[in-house]
Chain A
């Protein structure tokens, strides 16, 4: 049984049924919070002259909101296809890094590895990492992946067909739903000074680089620099 951090208040309650309910509710809330972005993505894609098949293919196969948005926004704004694809790929690199962690944590075998890789994104990773000390990482990962996959694809199709009915995510405040959920999920992991320094360092480095490097790079630069900083601090 892994040790549960002392101040892990968000995951308090160790009985299996309490954990199941907690994970289900959070996974559903996170899924619902991506739907305004799905609607918006579908609508923006149609405006950028993508066909319905292309929009669906992106949500089904690429399945990573930030990369999808970057791709169609740059194409829609008349940017080059090369910069659109390049930015989408750059934003996709962090999913590969998440994958290494999820692989070590959940050890999928055979075909499960491919399915797991396909749904390794910010949301499923954050939930798995958050539930790792409670021993529910696999349930948290799959439940969140299913919730986000279904609602993301459904909202994408709706957005492409009927337009963005909800208006901009900024109007509904849902543009901070993701960041707020990640703050809450990460809080228990920030129970040591070294992790708090690393998290703040990652954010600060990312922001400093925002104006000077291509879109997509700041998150990677911030995340990797902070891990390097941690290794130095630990020496």
Chain B
């Protein structure tokens, strides 16, 4: 019963959070300041997400095979490799280092 409650609150709450961004009146998003913030937000949030998903496990900072994968991705993006090559090479590197 408690488990059902947890599942329903988490699912409903997360769906509501997603909707929250869409109920903000669009005119509030049109000021120059709002535009600057909104254009930067996905970039900074995804950057933080990249850092956390590569260098953290739970509440611990860790340096493991994921860092090698990210390094390869950064190098390949810098030399303008195609998208799929970046993703596949990063995964292959991380898998290789993990297997060592």
Contact = CB atoms under 8 A, between A and B. Distances in A.
B100 interface: no
A173 B88 CA distance: 9
B80 to A, nearest CB: 5
Nearest to B60: A211
A84 to B, nearest CB: 6
Contacts of B9: 85
Among B18, B40, B41, residue most surrounded by chain A Cβ atoms (within 10 Å): B18
A176 B17 contact: no
A204 B37 CA distance: 19
Interface residues of B, number: 76
B90 A81 contact: no
A129 interface: yes
Contacts of A223: 41, 44-45, 47-48
Contact of B56 (A10, A114, A218): A218
Contact of A227 (B21, B44, B55, B73): B44
A165 interface: no
A81 B6 contact: yes
Contacts of B13: 85, 88-89, 92
B5 to A, nearest CB: 7
A161 interface: no
Nearest to A82: B6
Given A33-B87, A180-B69, A231-B37, A202 B51 contact: yes
Chain A binding surface SS class: helix
A183 B70 contact: yes
Chain B binding surface SS class: helix
Given A117-B19, A179-B54, A222 B47 contact: yes
B94 to A, nearest CB: 4
A98 B42 contact: yes
A39 interface: no
A5 interface: no
Among A71, A116, A183, residue most surrounded by chain B Cβ atoms (within 10 Å): A183
A122 B49 contact: yes
B55 to A, nearest CB: 6
Given A170-B65, A172-B95, A226-B40, A179 B18 contact: no
Interface string A195-211: 10011111111110011
A234 B39 CA distance: 14
Q: Which 7 A-B pairs have the closest CB atoms?
A: A99-B21, A173-B95, A222-B48, A203-B51, A176-B69, A180-B90, A223-B45
Interface of B: 2-15, 17-22, 24, 26, 29-30, 33-56, 58-61, 64-66, 69-70, 72-74, 77, 80, 82-84, 86-87, 90-96, 98-99
16 contacts: A96-B20, A97-B42, A100-B21, A101-B39, A114-B22, A118-B18, A118-B19, A170-B98, A171-B95, A174-B91, A183-B73, A183-B74, A185-B83, A210-B60, A223-B47, A231-B37
